[in-house]
Copies of this chain bind each other. A is one copy, B any other.
Amino acid sequence: MELLRSLIFVPGNRANMLERALGFDADIIMVDLEDSVPPGEKVAARDVAAEWIPRLRQAGQRVMVRVNSLDTGLTRDELGAVISPDLYGVSVGKTESAGDLREIEGIISPLEIGANLEAGHVNLIPWIESAKAIVNVNEMAAALVRTVAIAFGAEDYTNDMGIQRTDDGEEVYHARSAVAIAARAAGIASLDSPYVAFRNPAGLRKDAGVARQMGYTGKFAIHPAQVETINEVFSPNPEDVAYARRVMEAWQEAEANGRGSLSLDDKMVDVPVVKRAQNLLALVDEIDKQLAARGRG
């Protein structure tokens, strides 16, 4: 699976920001046609976006486009304008049911054929950002083969619930947890809402850490200064990697001696603990491999 730790929003109508995005260190450049583009510029933005996708790709970026939600009437034309060989995938806001996703499939699939792309080339990230979507999240996560991740949109969600956001995020704990679990159950990635206080790196680190501990595998950025922190939080940390190596050594020794369990630092080490260590070390290898392939190792 491709890395999806950090995804940075770039407004689709701003050529100067798209140009800066050529050098961003995020796993995905998410060209936005939705919330960061004013109503009057939506149509122009889709052409600007279409023009920048191949340039970004050529600079080694993986590019996605977030289009406007089904109820705007813009979705079909925007997808038509951007789906192309250089596009990694698309993201659609405010999806609320498996039915919404099947409607999106009905748009993407013919466009994929029309563009001579392999079935499934266009990866999809739907946004879960209303109470209704939370109620349907398990079904949504499993609805389409092309869904590589689901994203939790805390601003729209709290909006829908009529609640105020706080920095510790207690008010979204239930919904935010449900999204991470639904994603994992469906075998896809889960992406956390952006942290909007973009001049508060400590707040971002804490918020990303909470998301990671809920099972999220990545997070959106709204400012390039957020990318490094997000990449760091969603990569294995050195202490965990060192501990995982110790677990594997102790386990191999115990196994050689015919014991099925052992203790390390006064905690039981059994099969689940060993599996966690193995998974972590496998992820470390995968990140190294993909970063090397991007020439950024």
Q: A residues within 8 Å of B by Cβ?
A: 11, 13, 34-41, 129-132, 134-135, 138, 153, 155-156, 158-164, 166, 170-171, 173-175, 177-178, 180-185, 194, 196-200, 212-215, 217, 222, 240, 254-255, 258-261, 263, 266-268, 270-273, 275-276, 279, 283
Residues on the B chain within 8 Å of A13, using CB: 260
Measured between beta carbons, the chain B residues less than 8 angstroms from A158 are: 276
Copies in the complex: 3
- Partner of A164 from B36, B37, B213, B260 at Cβ < 8 Å: B213
Which interface residue of A138, A163, A197 has the most chain B CB atoms within 10 A? A163
B260 touches A11 (CB 8 A): yes
Q: Do A138 and B138 touch across chains, with their CB atoms under 8 A apart?
A: no
**Cβ contact within 8 Å between B255 and A38:** yes
Q: How far is the CA of A131 from the CA of B217 in the complex (A)?
A: 14
Contacts of A153 in B (CB 8 A): 272
Q: A163-B214, A181-B174 are in contact. Are A35 and B272 (CB under 8 A)?
A: yes
Neighbouring B residues of A180 by C-beta, 8 Å: 161
A240 B185 Cβ-Cβ under 8 A? no
Q: In the complex, what residue of chain B is closest to A132 when comparing beta carbons?
A: B185
Question: Could you list 20 further interchain pairs (A-B, Cβ under 8 angstroms) beyond the known A35-B270, A38-B254, A194-B268?
Answer: A11-B260, A11-B261, A36-B261, A38-B259, A38-B260, A129-B272, A130-B184, A131-B182, A134-B181, A134-B185, A135-B182, A153-B272, A161-B181, A162-B184, A162-B215, A162-B217, A162-B283, A171-B213, A197-B266, A198-B263
Contact of A197 with B35 at beta-carbon distance under 8 Å, contacts A131-B184, A160-B184 already known: no
